Amino acid sequence: MTLDEARALDAADPLAHCRDRFLLPSGKIYLDGNSLGALPAATAARLGETIEREWGESLIESWNKHDWIGAPERVAAKLAPMVGAAADELLIADSTSINLFKLLGAALMSGDRRVILSEEGNFPTDLYVAQGLEALVPGVTLKTVPADQIEAAIDQSVAVLLLTQVDYRSGRKHAMSALNAAARDAGALTLWDLSHSAGAFPVDLTGNGCDLAVGCGYKYLNGGPGAPAFLFVARHLHDRLHSPLPGWMGHADPFAFDPIYRPIGGIGRFRTGTPSILAIAALEAGLATFDGIAMSDLEAKSRSLSQLFIGEVEARCGGAAQLKLASPRDPSARGSHVVFAHPEGYAVMQALIADGVIGDFRAPDLMRFGFAPLYNSHEEAWRAAQALGEIFESRKWDSPRFTKRERVT
Amino acid sequence: MTLDEARALDAADPLAHCRDRFLLPSGKIYLDGNSLGALPAATAARLGETIEREWGESLIESWNKHDWIGAPERVAAKLAPMVGAAADELLIADSTSINLFKLLGAALMSGDRRVILSEEGNFPTDLYVAQGLEALVPGVTLKTVPADQIEAAIDQSVAVLLLTQVDYRSGRKHAMSALNAAARDAGALTLWDLSHSAGAFPVDLTGNGCDLAVGCGYKYLNGGPGAPAFLFVARHLHDRLHSPLPGWMGHADPFAFDPIYRPIGGIGRFRTGTPSILAIAALEAGLATFDGIAMSDLEAKSRSLSQLFIGEVEARCGGAAQLKLASPRDPSARGSHVVFAHPEGYAVMQALIADGVIGDFRAPDLMRFGFAPLYNSHEEAWRAAQALGEIFESRKWDSPRFTKRERVT
């Protein structure tokens, strides 16, 4: 493909105008929106207003006057259609890890089964949270199996099946509907981590029969570093499940200061403490970058960008014999990031970053490139592939400047 | 006392200059800094820089370049001397409720004892978190007793004594050192909630022999609505305690993406998920309002303001026969807020707020006035008492406008 052909794809892109909703650093091609979404153009002003007008002028009265008290539900309602949930099934709260704990604990407390079933390669924090429950609650057991053995491992001992829809390394996407059906048949609940899904392509929690879900606000949702996360509880479970992390914000009448916890009906019982209003305001500005966007356009562009990138990388890096696509080749089988493996992946990625193309590296040998359909362009995907080709050709990566491992992230 | 005498106290106040560190709304006397601290003058610019320069320009690289990764420990180090902790015993993380869960769970997991002992009137969220552990972990029992029976109730069954240093209603302060000694003698750990203490007066966690503590960032610490909270673990417990909420940020090597949780040494193991960098930046700006301040001056001014207020209220509200001081009269026995009880306290407080004096109401009959030594003045305390006297004298509160209960907070 030529640069002009890539540009022609951008000219026909129905989401091209969305790039203006972001402030992107000049001279860089940012392909790490799957780690930290780019800065929306409206965020700084929104935070300024929340800080100066709401907090500064109205102070404590803002809980009522500016509806701080309703922020977790209000912002969740904006996210709900993007993940196929009803507004009252979704809540903005805490971090992904904390929300995982709440929902895993709630699932365990809802019956006598003690097994959490997950995938060996699930995102580590998901496994750590389950290990925390193992250490805290006698009898709870985390069982992990390879991806291709999950369905066979769902038996009558399983309380909850804990999976991440899109693998953080390969981008491989699980077949949600089939796994949910298998779990339902065995009487197990399902808990999906949507951290690499929400905002990248349409998710249909309800249509696929998901019971529980969590996800991250700071990746494709553009909510800022460490943004509040979200949690989903299907309506049919609202009265049956109880949070193991009750707090005053989830009480039926928080300002009665009742010494006995009595959960509010619905999703609000999964609130714990007082949420950061500043962080939620930034997430709300992040979600506003999706205003008026068809999720189908988002998915189509994600595929178009990633397919272009794979094709160009493979065309340009023929000399790098050990370079291998580590993502599914079929775009319907992966999320919105693409991974190439190479034994010198760390150094190659550092050289690429030095050239202004920002992806990231995951041990032992994975170079990861995220495509955020709202702000990445086909020209960027083309130029990133070109830069990678040049680095392999010149062996620029083979320098202590790049091979020395010193980066934290 | 005359207004001129109150002003003379302000003229001699070594903390008077600190008021300029805040942006306070004009025409209001804000006595609710114990619910939500006022806006520091530097916060908006600090957030603007974090958003536009760090997030916007450096994006994912900010985790290293702007030390986002070290923010929870860096900000904790600024708070440490204010609460009598070493820098490496304190961590900024999550919410107060979540941190309570971590430390209660850690205390339970460290031995075989199953009783959490607390006070009947403890802040509800503290009790709810303990009730969450009761529901989740078989055998765990929350036992609550009146304040005067706590010491007698500490026996060999108690795993952890959970208390709030300053009562959120009366302002009564517990005798930390004696209770810690009694717990230590019985082999129990102590967990102190410092939400109404930190930033109001000097706390000496180490000197008083405290084992564990948590506290709130959005009251006297001026970190903004729902600011991140803090937790304290005395150094002698660092290797013995494990968080029941492990997450990737507390792993010894988070970027190794190890499937087995292996906690980092020290306080960092109480990290869970990715913290909100924007919320932590606001808390850092909040803590900067204490720069160069002697904690002894803070305590002296807190007492001076609250004693003036009590004296003036009692002098001016003689006609309100049912008005009673519901806080300890001895300033050394209370924190930095003062509570008066009155059967029509709700309506009186609404009338007071309408007159520009912002306190808050706690059911059934408590009017609560917080004195933030950094920004409240003696003149404000005097004028607030005067306004309250006028409301009682005029019976202005006796109107449907004020008696109708509709406020959320």
Phi, psi for residue B138 in degrees, rounded to 5 = -55, 135
pLDDT band at residue A404, thresholds of 50, 70 and 90?
confident
Whether the pLDDT of residue B104 is over 80: the answer is yes
Contact A408 B64 (CB under 8 A): yes
Contact A51 B43 (CB under 8 A): yes
Q: CB-based contact (8 Å) between A27 and chain B?
A: no
Which residues in chain A have their CB less than 8 angstroms from residue B48's CB?
44, 47-48
Q: Can you give the pLDDT at residue A321? A: 79
Q: Can you give the pLDDT at residue A179? A: 98
**Ranges of H-type helices in A137-228:** 150-153, 176-185
Whether the pLDDT of residue B329 is over 80: the answer is yes
| B 82-111 residues with CB < 8 A to A | 94-98, 101, 105, 108-109
Residue type at position A172: R
Read off the DSSP letter of residue A166.
B
Contact A279 B276 (CB under 8 A): yes
pLDDT band at residue A318, thresholds of 50, 70 and 90?
confident
Contact A52 B39 (CB under 8 A): yes
Q: Is B102 a catalytic site residue? A: no
Q: Can you give the pLDDT at residue A246? A: 97
Read off the DSSP letter of residue A322.
T
Q: What is the mean pLDDT of residues A67-93?
A: 98
Return the structure tokens found at A97: 């890890």
Return the structure tokens found at B403: 């008696």
What average pLDDT does chain A have?
A: 96
Contact A135 B244 (CB under 8 A): yes
pLDDT band at residue B354, thresholds of 50, 70 and 90?
very high
Whether the pLDDT of residue B319 is over 80: the answer is no
Q: What is the mean pLDDT of residues B202-229?
A: 98
Please, are residues A362 and A168 in contact by the beta-carbon 8 Å criterion? yes
Q: First and final CA of chain A: distance in angstroms?
A: 33
Q: Can you give the pLDDT at residue A405? A: 81
Whether the pLDDT of residue A271 is over 60: the answer is yes
Q: Can you give the pLDDT at residue B405? A: 81
Distance CA B49, CA B60 (A): 15
Q: What is the pLDDT of residues B26-71, one digit of tens each?
A: 999 999 999 999 999 999 999 999 999 999 999 999 999 999 999 9
Q: What is the mean pLDDT of residues B388-400?
A: 95
Please, are residues B10 and B321 in contact by the beta-carbon 8 Å criterion? no
Lowest mean pLDDT among A67-71, A198-202, A320-324, B26-30: A320-324
Q: CB-based contact (8 Å) between B229 and chain A?
A: yes
Q: Which domains does chain B have, with CATH numbers?
A: 3-39+294-403 (3.90.1150.10), 44-288 (3.40.640.10)
Per the listing, tokens 């972990």 go with: B137
Q: Which residues of A are catalytic?
A: 123, 193, 218-219, 368
Contact B51 A25 (CB under 8 A): no
Return the structure tokens found at B157: 């069954």
Distance CA B324, CA B172 (A): 15
Whether the pLDDT of residue A408 is over 70: the answer is no
Please, are residues A261 and A244 in contact by the beta-carbon 8 Å criterion? no
Burial annotation B371-391 (CB, 10 A radius, 16+ → b, else e): bbbbbbbbbbbbbbbbbbbeb
Q: Can you give the pLDDT at residue B110? A: 97
Q: Which of B22, B123, B346, B402 is catalytic?
A: B123
Q: Can you give the pLDDT at residue A5? A: 98
Q: How does DSSP assign A201-267, residue by residue?
A: S---TTTTT--EEEE-SSSTT---TT--EEEEE-GGGTTT---SS--GGGBSSGGG--SS--BPSGG
B212-215 and B229-233 as β-strands: parallel, antiparallel, unpaired?
antiparallel
Angle at A132 between CA B233 and CA A190, to 5 degrees: 145
Which residues in chain B have their CB less than 8 angstroms from residue A279's CB?
226, 276, 278-279
Which residues in chain B have their CB less than 8 angstroms from residue A55's CB?
36, 39, 224-225
Q: Can you give the pLDDT at residue B406? A: 67
Q: What is the pLDDT of residues A91-100, one digit of tens each?
A: 999 999 999 9
Q: What is the pLDDT of residues A174-203, one digit of tens each?
A: 999 999 999 999 999 999 999 999 999 999
Q: CB-based contact (8 Å) between B358 and chain A?
A: yes
User: Which of B95, B227, B256 minimises the CB distance to A272?
Assistant: B95
Q: Is B261 a catalytic site residue? A: no
Helix (H, G, I), strand (E, B) or coil at B49: helix
What average pLDDT does chain B have?
A: 96
Please, are residues A260 and A52 in contact by the beta-carbon 8 Å criterion? no
Contact A101 B245 (CB under 8 A): yes
**Which is nearest to A243 in space by CA: A260, A258, A259, A262?**
A262
Residue A138 neighbours by CB distance under 10 Å: 10
Whether the pLDDT of residue A406 is over 90: the answer is no
Q: What is the mean pLDDT of residues B68-96?
A: 98
